[in-house]
Structure 1
Amino acid sequence: MMMMGSTFGTIGSSMASLFFIWAIVQQIFPNHLKIAIKEFLLSSFQQLCFAQRVFQIISPTSSLHVDINFPESDEYRLNHAFSAIETYLEAKATDKSKHLRGSQVKENKGLVLKRNEVKIRDEYKGVRVWWEIVTASGEERSYKLTFHNRSRSLITASYVPYVVEDGKLIKAKKQQTRLFTNNPSSQWFLSHNMWRSIEFEHPANFETLAMDPEKKKEIMSDLTAFTNGKDYYKKIGKAWKRGYLLYGAPGTSKSTMVSAMAKFLNYNIYDLELTAIKNNSELRKLLTTTSSKSIVVIEDIDCSVDLTGNRTKKLSRLSCEDNGIKLAG
């Protein structure tokens, strides 16, 4: 920034020098030389003006540029625009990138190359913009978009919605089911680090699930009706959610059922460990940071909290095998 400011100051200083030289020329030189010198000075002045305009166009730090920040979260809620922007920028071609990072998370999968740049330049309908990932104290991340003020309408009304929608489409095509587990609140920072995740690789699906065919068909039909029922839930004034209670002894395919549901719906799974939650406030914060189109699983719910009253020890032991499932549309 200091270098660009120095460049701008040099241009202004040079223009002032040209005016000063012309004032001296008018007093000293004869008329026939004044014409030639005037043409030379006018040419130099035009070149300086052109240089100034070019500087204002190419420099993302000049006063004629506008910044828009897209934080990763907003008051404990995930900013879905941030996630879409991140996907969009990561999907951009790497052939012109000077800094890359490679990863191979599994031996049987190929090497993946991604951009590893703090600043990324993009172009939309002939307009150049700059993206920058900014990390504040406490690891609060945000994407900063910089563009020339004269393109404000195009960028805000067209480019930003295009980036967000394109990022969502790319993410949907590449989406793989992930398994999330909540971290203890001592590890949280605002809405960060509340969940950790891995790729969900359980092989079970409804085709491999051993259960009564009619009951399986009934569950699949219910899930399909739920995914297509957003307008219905809105019409009757209810949250677009669906709950299931799975119970039984170990080995009765409760986890397999969860896997089959996730594969059928293409939903992520949030495994909610209640013993890591201190109070209702923490529980609400965790739930607000889950993504849409997800399955929230609460295992051994009766063993995690005292909801059973004066049940006998035998009933309590049996109920410890219960799983609660909530689908979020």
Structure 2
Amino acid sequence: MMMGGAMGTFGSSMASLFFLWATFQQMFPEHLKIAIKEFLLFSDQIITFFSPYVVISFPEYEDYYRYNHAFAAIDTYLGAKAIDKAQKLKASQVKESKGLVLKRDEAKVRDEYQGVHVWWEIVTDTDGYRTQKLTFHRRGLEIVTGSYIKHVVEEGISIEAKTKKMKLFTNNPSLNWDTNNGSLWRHIDFEHPASFKTLAMDPSKKQEVLDDLEAFRNGKEYYKKIGKAWKRGYLLYGPPGTGKSTMIAAMANHLSYNIYDLELTAIKNNSELRKLLTATSSKSIIVIEDIDCSVDLTGKRKKGDDDLRVKKDGEQRKEDENQSRVTLSGLLNFIDGIWSACGQERIIVFTTNHMEKLDPALIRRGRMDMHVELSYCSFEAFKVLAKNYLDLDSHPLFGEIESLLKDTKMAPADVAEKLMSKNQIIDVDGCLKDLVQSLERRRKEQRGQDDDDHKKKPGGKKLRIFRGLF
């Protein structure tokens, strides 16, 4: 009975308390909210003031889109250094790799530096943004801020350089800032085998590009001296199949740079373009392939009409305020405007099959510093392909092939297709004879086309008749 009475009294007291609380809320709703907020803030300040621990945060992104490169270095450092101390690990096997890759599978990592104990923890907020939080005792503040953080970042960069795998990044039209865990880019490992040694092009042009790349890579002090952003623009132009994409892969492999493949048609506006480009890393190649196909760039700009309007497949472009688009000025501002300095050691590459369609302002020297024409297969380029595919330096048919290539337009990709061995059985004579026949057919077709074009010209048919009288 006594227990039941006590419980009843307690229940009655709680009911009264809740009633008073509800009445207070109704009478002073705004005052109550302000009072609670100020109390919580004051209590946090008291706890922080008396706490012997300091917390330093390293967010993955600054201002929602500027990538914090210290975050990646810290993540690499902790991933490499904490494996022997971690209690939870996760293992993965990448493609044909025989060995397993072990990584820590814990949010918290403990570390020690010059007698100071620290704790790292990675936290993710409700929007998907990640932050590395470093906690340590206040007495180690001088060591942590003076040398430990610098040590962690430098070690992380060193480890990344030793184990670096080049990445191919792309902006996905189905992903955006809100749904891709705080990142506008997704990536895969870049494993293209292309090199300048196997690239089929004129040797003098190839060496010119190589020399230019080396000068750029070693030009940090030079760019600083002349007061220019450390970047370089390349325009690769020529017919389809002449090796533009292959050259980009060779450039990346030569420099060990990541590639950012930028799809303009997936970008909503200049603001999103700026977010994407400022989120790229240094030592990278930013690529816009087939720029004449993905956006509307004409050689003549009308006043107030310098937009790069995004095309819809099979539909005529419409003047629509709601249509996704970026402007030419927005793109140019990143190439050589004020935003071009937001990063170091970057290469920007445009490719096109029709350079005459591009706005001169986009490709002028200083923006696209080097124009590289990749044309139809020459005999020198053929010899590179013959070495690549057939391991061949000379052959009796080489003379005939050289003669045919002089007046026949065939892309290196088409020549390479004829040199491909069937069923992995190398038939040198068969491949070369197949190429000769293909070149002869192509030459006949091109001559026929030239004759047709000549007939269509004013006076062309009359001229042929006149010549036939002799």
TM range (shorter): 0.7 to 0.9
Which residue in the other structure is 2:52 paired with?
A: 64
Which residue in the other structure is 1:187 paired with?
A: 176
Contact 2:57–2:133 (8 Å) recurs in 1: yes
Contact 2:58–2:70 (8 Å) recurs in 1: yes
Aligned residues: 261
Distance 2:166 2:211 in 1: 21
Which residue in the other structure is 1:166 paired with?
A: 155
Q: Secondary structure at the match of 1:290?
A: coil
Q: Which runs of 5+ in 1 are unaligned?
A: 1-61
Structure (1 or 2) with the larger CA radius of gyration:
2
Distance 2:291 2:240 in 1: 15
How big is the shift at 1:185? 7.8
Contact 1:71–1:143 (8 Å) recurs in 2: yes
Distance 1:321 1:113 in 2: 51
How big is the shift at 1:305? 2.1
Matches within 5 A, 1:250-265: 250-265=240-255
What is the TM-score with the length of structure 2 in the denominator? 0.52
Which residue in the other structure is 2:205 paired with?
A: 215
Which of 206, 220, 235 aligns to 1:230? It is: 220
Which residue in the other structure is 1:279 paired with?
A: 269
Which of 118, 121, 142 aligns to 1:132? It is: 121
Contact 1:87–1:167 (8 Å) recurs in 2: yes
- Residues 320 and 296 (structure 1 numbering): CA distance in 2 closer, same or farther, change over 3 Å? farther
Distance 1:326 1:161 in 2: 37
Contact 2:90–2:102 (8 Å) recurs in 1: yes
How big is the shift at 1:272? 0.4
Q: Secondary structure at the match of 2:252?
A: helix
Q: RCO (CA 8 Å, sep 6+): is it higher in 1 or 2?
A: 1
Distance 1:159 1:326 in 2: 42
Distance 1:127 1:321 in 2: 63
Q: Supply the AA of the counterpart residue of 2:285.
A: I
How big is the shift at 1:184? 3.0
Which of 235, 257, 265 aligns to 1:267? It is: 257
Q: Does residue 86 of structure 2 align to residue 97 of structure 1?
A: yes
Q: Secondary structure at the match of 1:216?
A: helix
How big is the shift at 1:105? 2.4
Which residue in the other structure is 2:111 paired with?
A: 122
Q: Supply the AA of the counterpart residue of 2:203.
A: P
Q: Supply the AA of the counterpart residue of 1:295.
A: I
What is the TM-score with the length of structure 1 in the denominator? 0.74
- Deviations 1:118-163 (CA, angstroms, capped at 9, x unpaired): 1100000111100000111111100000000001000001100000
How big is the shift at 1:223? 0.5
How big is the shift at 1:319? 5.0
Contact 1:296–1:326 (8 Å) recurs in 2: no
How big is the shift at 1:234? 1.8
Q: Secondary structure at the match of 1:162?
A: helix
Q: Secondary structure at the match of 1:168?
A: helix
How big is the shift at 1:196? 0.7
Distance 1:272 1:188 in 2: 16
Contact 1:183–1:193 (8 Å) recurs in 2: no
Distance 1:211 1:133 in 2: 49
Q: Does residue 101 of structure 2 align to residue 112 of structure 1?
A: yes
How big is the shift at 1:271? 0.4
Distance 1:187 1:133 in 2: 23
Q: Secondary structure at the match of 1:137?
A: coil
Distance 2:357 2:203 in 1: 24
Distance 2:215 2:78 in 1: 35
Contact 2:76–2:160 (8 Å) recurs in 1: yes
Contact 1:102–1:114 (8 Å) recurs in 2: yes
Q: Supply the AA of the counterpart residue of 1:63.
A: S
Contact 1:248–1:321 (8 Å) recurs in 2: no
* RMSD of aligned residue pairs (Cα, Å): 2.5
How big is the shift at 1:289? 0.4
Which residue in the other structure is 2:138 paired with?
A: 149
Q: Does residue 226 of structure 2 align to residue 240 of structure 1?
A: no
